[in-house]
Amino acid sequence: MCDWMRQCAELVRPLVELMKQRVLSSKAVQTDDTPVPVLDPELPRTRTGRLWTYVGDADHPYTVYDYTANRSREGPDQFLKEFHGYLQADAYSGYDEIYQDAAR
């Protein structure tokens, strides 16, 4: 079953990339993260991963999800590196450098 999921993910990858480009073409993007439990065979319990949501504006009405293994700023940095516009987010300090870079 895992192989089926991998194959489905590969089939829809071009669509997801198109949706991502359209979200990044927005004048404003809304984002937030949600903690998700992740099975880790090296741990006796689950660990916490992050599912990031990126929502485009009215002219680009798409929602794209991005998974990261932790809450470091590298995830949003990587996803938003081509974005030029307004970012609406909570006060998570990982966004601070994104805001500072945009101000320069």
Would you give per-residue pLDDT tens digits along the chain (104 residues)?
Answer: 678 999 999 999 999 999 999 999 999 999 999 999 999 999 999 999 999 999 999 999 999 999 999 998 899 999 999 999 999 999 888 778 777 765 55
Q: How far apart are CA 56 and CA 95, in angstroms?
A: 17
Buried b (16+ CB within 10 A) or exposed e, 12-43: eeeeeeebbebbbbbeebbbebeeeeeeeeee
The maximal CA–CA distance of the chain, rounded, in angstroms, is 48
pLDDT of residue 103: 53
